[in-house]
A and B are shown apart, each in its own frame.
Chain A
Amino acid sequence: MNDEKNMECVIEARGLTKVFRDFWGRPKVRAVNGINLDVRRGEIFGLLGPNGSGKSTTIKMILGLLHPTSGQLSVLGESPRSVSVKTRIGFMPEESYLYKYLTADEILNFYANLYGMSGPHKIERVNALIEQVGLSKARDRRIGEFSKGMARRIGLAQALLNDPDLILLDEPTSGLDPIACREVKDLLLALARQGKTILICSHHLSDMQDICSRVAILLQGEVCATGSVQELLATPDTLKLTLQAPSQTTLTAVLDLLERDTGTRPQVDHTGRTLESVYIEKVSQKKSASS
């Protein structure tokens, strides 16, 4: 626990508040209300919450696109409005906000130019990312002709162009098929192992549970729960026991024993596979058979 506290904070927010005002300057909506956040280096941090809970507003403040009404916010030790800090940040927004008349190749080259990349380094990086997000065959197609999932992949590629230290992802798996979704989650876990810090907003709770080390749950602009996923999911007086199915006699004896000890009869069920694992297995089998 002490180690966790000593880890460097990449994002530090104290009393962060954002109030949207109307034309006359009167308060209209308090989108974020005095939240405190510490996102540490190398962790995958999830921001959860229903629509309108303030997740995207928080991300926009971290990017310097919105200015906090009050409170303090530091990103990688600098003000989020600093231009230089953006060289170390990658951002993938909720929607695929991309120039639809450009091809995948052109758009990545454009963003690479904004990072000041040039020459063979730029070409290598663009090629590697197009390969990584599985768009090699579509690199010369216009973004406007892409499916939502393909546009999300190119959105992810542009967020990783500069090999950022901090990656902000708003609904990264939205619109992706289960295999692509698994690939993205694996990629994010690999990036976290390399020491990258990742902040994700998502409604897909199972995805967040799979990859996040810590989460904060936002509700009406306030943090209503925060902590590691394990801490939040744990129910201290309940255990889950997984074992090879014993004989019926043994099972009955064990259940009787446990019932005498706890006062309630334990529930017995077969361990089920997830639909995701079945889908990935079947599609992979079909693909390998056809190739």
Chain B
Amino acid sequence: MPQCIRQFWALTGLAVTELFRQPASFLLILSSAACTVLAPLALSFQLGQETHLALDSSLAFEFMFGIILAGYAACATLHNECQSGTILIVFSKPVSRLMFFLAKYLAIALLILFFVFCSGAASLLAGRLSPRNFEFDTLGLRLLLVIPLIAIIPAALINYFTRRSFIVYALLGFSLALITVVFTLGMINGEGHRVAFGSLLDWRILPACSLEGIALLILAAIALSLASRLTTPTTIAILAVVLFSGLISDHLITLLPNSETLRFGLRMILPDIQAFWPADRLAGGESLSLAMIAHAAAYGIAYTFGILCLGYAAFRNRQF
């Protein structure tokens, strides 16, 4: 294996280990899934709304917890490394700054993808368990209680007997438990009778979550670019501003003077988050087409590339 590939995997592997061992990562992923699954129950009970509340709140929670996770992960892996001084030893080795920066981004992207995976599963559950005509699926709700038990008890035992990281195994157990419950509830209805697999699940939520995942990868690139100099609260605050500005970017552009250059400039600066917000289409009963996802993905890749270039330009001359 060439030296640069070995270095890249070593750096990525360490950053992934670091991120997946952070208690905050576990808590954010767990909280996001819990809010996603439980919020529609409370909302429906209050307002008597239909299942589209589950979709809307799922997507909103994914964005909300996603930007916190992206900002936190970027700062935990880059800013903390600069602050703690571990970066001094790494850069005393023959490691290029570009490789270091990209390895950090890949590690954050893997954490975000794991988060999107869990959010997608939780969103499927939210859609499946949201009450119809004020009737709760009590069997499904009981099954939900199994998830934290499967996540925490084996992880605690592994930690006790082998001293391995509790958080890593809890995350692994949590994702496995989530998938198991999704599959189980995909095969039975509220009365416990067998139904055709997936007939009660709203599969449209999965491409919608993926679309938001792409937006989160863009925001993660912005977070990493900021994290070499800014702290976690500041980074998350800026991400929130970017997210909300991006969501209303069409409206902001109409406020500008009638200048093509200005409008083009704002389009370049602000990410078009609306392209990744599918809640309105889903509420209208539409599904997301492959072309739409491909178009958003292409835009996301181009934007992320641009942001990473700017971020690296700032990081390249950073002094420690």
Contact = CB atoms under 8 A, between A and B. Distances in A.
Interface of A: 60, 63-67, 83-84, 86-87, 89-91, 93, 95, 97-99, 101-102, 110-111, 113-116, 118, 155, 158, 162, 168
A120 B2 CA distance: 16
Contacts of A158: 89
A118 B6 CA distance: 9
A111 B320 contact: no
A82 B10 CA distance: 21
24 contacts: A64-B91, A65-B88, A65-B91, A83-B94, A83-B95, A83-B96, A84-B94, A86-B91, A86-B93, A86-B94, A91-B88, A91-B89, A93-B85, A95-B85, A97-B86, A97-B87, A101-B165, A110-B10, A113-B7, A113-B10, A114-B10, A114-B11, A114-B90, A168-B92
B1 interface: yes
B3 interface: yes
Given A87-B94, A97-B85, A116-B7, 16 more contacts: A63-B92, A65-B91, A65-B320, A83-B95, A86-B93, A86-B95, A91-B89, A93-B89, A97-B86, A99-B18, A101-B17, A102-B14, A113-B7, A118-B6, A155-B89, A168-B92
B3 to A, nearest CB: 3
A180 B26 CA distance: 41
B21 interface: yes
Interface of B: 1, 3, 6-7, 9-11, 14, 17-18, 21, 84-96, 165, 317, 319-320
A65 B92 CA distance: 8
Most chain A CB atoms below 10 A, which of B7, B21, B319, B320: B319
A67 B319 contact: yes
A97 B89 contact: yes
B184 to A, nearest CB: 35
A60 B92 CA distance: 9
Given A65-B319, A83-B96, A113-B6, A98 B91 contact: no
Q: Which 3 A-B pairs have the closest CB atoms?
A: A116-B3, A97-B85, A113-B10
Contacts of B21: 101
A67 B319 CA distance: 7
B164 to A, nearest CB: 11
B14 A93 contact: no
A126 to B, nearest CB: 14
Contact of A114 (B18, B95, B165, B320): B95
A162 B92 CA distance: 11
A178 to B, nearest CB: 26
Contact of B93 (A66, A93, A115, A168): A115
Nearest to B3: A116
Contacts, number: 77
A89 B6 contact: no
Given A66-B319, A86-B94, A114-B93, A99 B86 contact: yes
Contacts of A65: 88, 91-92, 319-320
Contacts of B3: 116
Contact of B89 (A98, A101, A115, A116): A98
A118 B84 contact: no
Contacts of B85: 93, 95, 97
Given A66-B320, A113-B7, A101 B91 contact: no
A111 B93 contact: yes
Contacts of A66: 319-320
A89 B3 CA distance: 17
B307 to A, nearest CB: 24
Contacts of B7: 113-114, 116
Most chain A CB atoms below 10 A, which of B21, B85, B165: B85
Most chain B CB atoms below 10 A, which of A67, A84, A114: A114
Contacts of A93: 85, 88-89
A99 B222 CA distance: 25
A135 to B, nearest CB: 17
A110 B18 CA distance: 13
A253 to B, nearest CB: 61
Nearest to A99: B86
A110 B95 CA distance: 12
Contacts of A63: 88, 91-92
Contacts of B10: 110, 113-114
A60 B93 contact: no
Nearest to A61: B319
A110 B14 contact: yes
A230 B310 CA distance: 53
B17 to A, nearest CB: 8
A131 to B, nearest CB: 21
A2 to B, nearest CB: 34
Contacts of B6: 113, 116, 118
Contacts of A67: 317, 319
Nearest to A89: B92
Most chain B CB atoms below 10 A, which of A98, A110, A118: A110
A98 B92 contact: no
A58 to B, nearest CB: 14
A130 B303 CA distance: 46
Nearest to B4: A116
Nearest to B95: A114
Contacts of B95: 83, 86, 114
